[in-house]
Amino acid sequence: MLSKGKLKKDFHKNKYKYIMVIPVLIYLFLFCYKPMYGVIIAFQRYRPTLGIARSPWVGLDNFVRFFKDVNFWRVVRNTFTISFLSILFTFPAPILLALLLNEVRVSWFKRLVQTVTYLPHFIAMVVVCGLVNRFCQSDGLINDLIAFFGGERSNLLIKTNMFYPIYILSDIWKEVGWNSIIYLATLASIDQEQYEAARIDGAGRIQQMWYITLPGLLPTISMLLILRLGNILGVGQEKILLLYNEMTYEVADVISTFVYRKGLSDADYSYSTAIGLFDSIINIVFLVGANKISKKLGQSGLF
């Protein structure tokens, strides 16, 4: 145990460091920890007029209600589907881009491609979805292309089978360049002598890519994959809110958008909070699980 004297000495020596961190702790307390305490309304039938202190307790009723909700399977299925599709397509895309850029020897061309592909990361989600909205209208750009190749014009945003491709492709468009930065930086640190040695042994470029470049990227890939898995339910809520409509709820409504509608449109506070809590817990389970698996496989864990 720490003695009182030692604590006193510590505080005296590091006085300013402690004082400087106080504003941060006040912020975290007011805007992160206070809402965490507010989570207990998930176990109540919360009434704004009564407040947390006097609202009646209902135990796990809100959770049971969610599991029995007609939309339960729909939102859970959609959340996992979108997440799975983005791990399958959006996640590897920047790795592929980094591998391709790594093969480019003309530096101005490489820089040009990088500059162009990084840009959309900074474009607002509202603008991106607004453009998607424009281009997918029946008189929009994409339909012009479809019509050019003899297809039929239609509003793509109200078709359930088009939602996932639109979602995934616009995601890749916005983030592929930005997400490739970290892989490119990792590639820059790979020992060039390995390539020399491989060339002398007669390895072709594809073989070098497969046996040197890709293994060099593996630690980074696994770390980012853990982070991604830990956020498995964290599908692009803002994006879906901007892109979906009642015609596509069947495939596009996810847990977080359901939380949004229940909580803010229907003002069903306790119910919405319970669903949100369910969402958080699943996320943490996945994060811890992915971290464990990664450690077992001999890769570095996150914590």
In the list 277, 286, 290, 294, the residue contacting another protein (rule: CB under 8 A) is 277
Select the residue interacting with another protein from 87, 158, 168, 181 (CB under 8 A). 181
And the tokens for 282?
Answer: 């699943």
Which stretch in 53-61, 64-72, 81-89, 103-111 sits in contact with another protein by CB under 8 A?
103-111
Among 66, 177, 212, 228, binds another protein (CB under 8 A): 177
Instruction: Return the residue of 73, 77, 130, 210 that touches another protein, per CB under 8 A.
Output: 130
DSSP for 67-126 reads: HHSTTHHHHHHHHHHHHHHIIIIITHHHHHHHHHHHH---HHHHHHHHHHHHGGGGS-HH
* Structure-block tokens of residue 58: 């209902």
Q: Tell me: does residue 141 bind another protein (CB under 8 A).
A: yes
Q: Which of 64, 126, 214, 285 binds another protein (CB under 8 A)?
A: 126
Q: Which of residues 191-220 bind another protein (CB under 8 A)?
A: 204-206, 220
Interface pick for another protein out of 5, 23, 59, 298 (rule CB under 8 A): 23
Kindly tell me which of 87 and 104 has the beta carbon lying closer to another protein. 104
Compare residues 18 and 84 and give the one whose CB is closer to another protein.
Answer: 18
Q: What is the H or E stretch that residue 1 is in?
A: none
Is there binding between residue 7 and another protein (CB under 8 A)? yes
192 close to 216: Cβ distance less than 8 angstroms: no
The interface region with another protein, picked from 8-16, 58-66, 67-75, 159-167 by CB under 8 A, is: 8-16
- Which residues ranging from 54 to 83 are in contact with another protein (CB under 8 A)? none
Q: Are 259 and 233 in contact (CB under 8 A)?
A: no
Q: Which long-range contacts (CB under 8 A, 24 or more apart) does 297-303 make?
A: 297/222, 299/218, 299/219, 299/222, 299/223, 300/219, 300/222, 300/223, 301/226, 302/223, 302/226, 302/227, 302/230
**Minimum distance from CB of 263 to another protein (Å)?**
4
Report the nearest approach of another protein to the CB of residue 214 (Å): 16
Of 213, 228, 206, residue with least CA distance to 183:
213
CA dist 303 and 299 (Å) reads: 12
> Any contact of residue 14 with another protein (CB under 8 A)?
yes
Position 259 contacts another protein (CB under 8 A): yes
**Residue 41 interacts with another protein (CB under 8 A)?**
yes
